[in-house]
Each structure stands twice: as structure tokens, then as C-alpha cells.
A = this chain, B = another copy of it.
Amino acid sequence: MTARVLVVDDNPSNVKLLAARLAAEYFDVLTAANGAEALSVCAAGECDIVLLDVMMPGMNGFEVCRRLKADPDTAHIPVVMVTALDQPSDRLMGLEAGADDFLVKPIDETALLARVKSLARLRATLDDLRSRAARAAKLGISGAACLSQGEEPSGRILVVDDRRSACEAIVNALKPHYEMELEPDAAEALTEGAAGGYDLLIVSLGLSGYDGLRLCSQFRSIEATRQIPILAVAEPEDRARVLRCLELGVNDYILRPVERAELVARVRTQMRRKRYVDCLRQNVEASLEMAVVDALTGLHNRRFFDGVLPSMLEEAKRKGRPVSLIMFDIDHFKTVNDLHGHEAGDRLLQGLATRIKSLIRRSDIFCRLSGDEFVILMPDTRVDVGAKVAERVRAGVAGAPFFIGKNRSIAATISIGLAESGRCGADILREADKALYRSKEGGRNRVYFDVASPQAAPRAPGFRVVRAG
């Protein structure tokens, strides 16, 4: 795993040293001698990770970090602050400026490399998601704007620690901001973590009966917890294991004694990143779903219908169960558009979709094929039951007018054609279409079903029977 690392320091020999060390590990190294340069390299999208000196003339590191994190185009780039000062307040200032980690000079090279490698892995995951979201945005189907910074995130945290007083301190520090759960037992924690919808796992590496590293690794192996960030809590002398846990995919760590403000800051960073990644994932997910959803009514679209019908018919045939299908359109819909404009027509379509949704069953699949042409697919439904649904829908539409904007309402009726797979097999859509035509011909605002023998026909109020042909 490699990455383009930007080293920012006003001292040329510091830059040279760090650059050489990183290059020896085969990172691609860029350098900047001040904040302004650093901002422009980041804005140009030329680096994946920033190592940022705090004390620089002009703009100091805190300010550079704040600016990077305030810009939606650079906010996702991980920043590691590097400083000569080891004041807790300094570390805190860095974390509060949005830094992902804080290292103290002289730099412990192993720790630095472990951190940079861990951030490089993170970047690889993010890159893929970000490029997909960017592609969606370019197509004009961007969902919610995802920000890696911004308001205080909330969320659920599971703390796995069996030292009572230590974990009470952690829970107390975070309780004002997050929903906290505590689990001293590692095996239980695995089950709970997988089931609980957590946003962060805080794992003690010093559990008495279980190897904390193994627990972290297991959280990373299980599908349900693979994406949940992990913050490890370790003793200062646990250094080797801390570095190992970063390799295993743990996102961050904090050393005991846990300092309250540092804990809050590190947790906030993880939570924000989690929200950001979740948001990107949801956008990609939502844009996938858009492919099968009609934008105007929110119903399934024709693409979805074309995909689902053959497999539903096949399954029905295999199981010997019937599928019923309703096809309908709005009577004289063209007139609505012509008299009131297409906007009014759109309102009518939306109102109709909403009303009909409330009249059908959960198992029915309601699709807009196009224009004012709709179908309702009813799995595992005989035509007599389908006829009842159809009549309920017909009566529901005719029963009350629809709001079409500007205090105007109009009455509307629909003509319905009904068909059942047991009678027409794969031709069900064509049969329903034919029945719909008969329904129009018969005077509109009615339900038709084409039967070979009249006695087989179901009867319901407003339901008409015609002979085939």
C-alpha cells in the first residue's frame, strides 16, 4: 500500500529527513515550505496524506489544518500534525483543528510509518467511494452533500473493557455526546458489535481473558463490523501491539491514562469520518436505486417491472400459484394536460400514485410504466382477489377529486384491465392491455377482465365481464 505524502515544514533539513525516510519506504513524497504552498498542493488533488508542522512563520499548522478541513474538496485528506511541543493542550488544539493524529518531535519513525500506512489504506477505500460519488454528481444524480467535517456528530459506541474504573471514565467522558454501551466480555462484544448498529468500537488491548488484538481482527473479519471504526485503548508500554493493531485495520488509538479532552477529540474525528463514508455509501446506494424508481411518483419504473415480471411468472409457474396483474390509465388524461398544463398533469399523477398506494396491499408491486400508464403486479393472487383490489382502486380514484395546484382540484377516473397468469401465462401484460382497451371501449371508469367462459368470471361492484376476442 503506497500513497502520495505531502511533507510541510519551514525547516529544510526537517523536510529532507522526513522525505528521505518516507521515500525509503517507497512513498511518493511531495514537499511544501509553508502553509500557502501546502494548501495549493492539496487543492490540486496532488496528495493523499499531509504531514504538517505546527510552528511555521505566517500561517501556522493549526490554521492550515483548519482550512483544509473547512474546504469540501480537501476535507477528506488525512492530516498528521508534527510538533516539537508536547503539551496536551497543543495536541488537543491539533485534534480540534481536525487533525487525524499528532506526533511529537523527535519523531518515532516506526510510529510515523505505521500511521501513514494505515492512512494510506483508508485512502484507498475512500478513493473508490469518492470517485463513484463524483461520477453520480456529474450525471446530475448526486444525493445529499457529504461533508467530512461540520456539525457535531452523534452516534452509538460500544466500549469493550473489563477494568471497571477505566471504562467508567471513558463512558463518562463520552456520555454527553454519544449513546454508550459497555461490554466487559470479548465473546459477547463480538455478538453485540455485529448486531448493535454501532458507529464506533472502543477496544481495550489489555483485556484480562482475551487478546484485544484478536478481538480487533475479528471485528475486521466479520461482515457486519468490517466497516465500523475501531479506537484501541492501550498502555504506553504496549507500543509494539499498538503499531500492530494499526496494521490490522484499527483506525486510531489512545494511550492510558486516557485524557478526557483527547478522547473526545479522537472519537469525534472517527465519528465524522464514519458519517462521511456512510453518506458516500448511501449516495451510491441511492443512485443505484434511482435506476428502478420513477422520479415523478416514486413508484417502481418500467425497468424494474421488466426485470421483475419474468422471474415472478416463472416462480409462480414452478409453485403452481397465480399472479394477477392490473393495468390502468387515466381517462382523458390528455385533456388535463391540454387544459391545465403539464405541471397540473404531473400533480394529478403524483396524487393518484399516493392515493392508490394506500389502497393496495404491501405485497402488491405498483409501477408507472410511462405517462399515465400504470400496472400493479399481485404475486400469489387469484383473479377474484385481484378484481377486488382493482375495484377498490377504481372506486378510490373516482371517489374524490385531486389537487392540481393553485387551489384547483379536478375529478379523475381510471380504466382498468385485469389479467391472471393461470389463464394467459407469460402473455399477462398483453392480456391486461387488451382488457384495458375493452374497458375504454365499454365506457371508461371500470374494470375489465377477459374470460373464455362467463361463469369463471369474478364479480365485484363495477366489474364487467366480456367474452374473449
Contact = CB atoms under 8 A, between A and B. Distances in A.
Contacts of A249: 1-2
B141 A303 contact: yes
A341 interface: yes
Contact of A27 (B217, B308, B437): B217
A334 B334 CA distance: 8
Contacts of A292: 139-141, 290
Contact of A121 (B1, B214, B430): B1
A426 to B, nearest CB: 14
Interface in A123-140: 124-125, 128, 132, 135-136, 139-140
Interface stretch (A52-60, A78-86, A262-270, A280-288): A280-288
Interface in A40-97: 48
A301 interface: yes
A296 B370 contact: yes
A115 interface: no
A264 to B, nearest CB: 28
B247 A1 contact: yes
Interface string A286-304: 0111111001100001111
Given A214-B26, A295-B302, A289 B139 contact: yes
B136 A248 contact: no
B141 A307 contact: yes
A370 B371 CA distance: 5
Contacts of A121: 1
A316 interface: no
User: Which residue of A217, A284, A295, A440 has the most chain B CB atoms within 10 A of its CB atom?
Assistant: A295
A288 B142 CA distance: 10
A373 interface: yes
User: How many copies of this chain does the complex contain?
Assistant: 2
Interface string A302-333: 11101110000000000000000000000001
A139 B304 contact: yes
A430 B2 contact: no
B437 A341 contact: yes
Q: How large is the interface on A (under 10, 10 to 19, 20 to 34, 35 or more residues)?
A: 35 or more
Contacts of A302: 295-296
Nearest to A4: B221
A295 B287 contact: no
A372 interface: yes
A369 B288 CA distance: 20
A136 B132 CA distance: 14
A140 B343 CA distance: 31
Interface in A416-448: 430, 433-434, 437, 440
A342 interface: yes
Nearest to A127: B226
Nearest to A117: B247
A290 B244 CA distance: 44
A302 B372 CA distance: 15
Contacts of A371: 370-373
B304 A2 contact: no
A384 interface: no
A297 to B, nearest CB: 10
A3 B140 contact: no
Contacts of A124: 125
A220 interface: yes
Given A296-B370, A334-B334, A341-B437, A217 B28 contact: yes
Nearest to A292: B139
A446 to B, nearest CB: 15
Contacts of A4: 221
A369 to B, nearest CB: 8
Contacts of A333: 334
The CB with the most chain B CB atoms within 10 A, among A28, A301, A370, A373, is that of A370
18 contacts: A1-B220, A1-B248, A2-B248, A124-B125, A128-B128, A132-B284, A139-B288, A139-B291, A139-B292, A139-B307, A141-B292, A141-B307, A287-B288, A287-B291, A290-B290, A295-B302, A333-B334, A371-B373
The 7 A-B pairs at the shortest CB distance, nearest first, are namely A371-B371, A140-B307, A290-B291, A26-B217, A295-B303, A28-B221, A2-B217
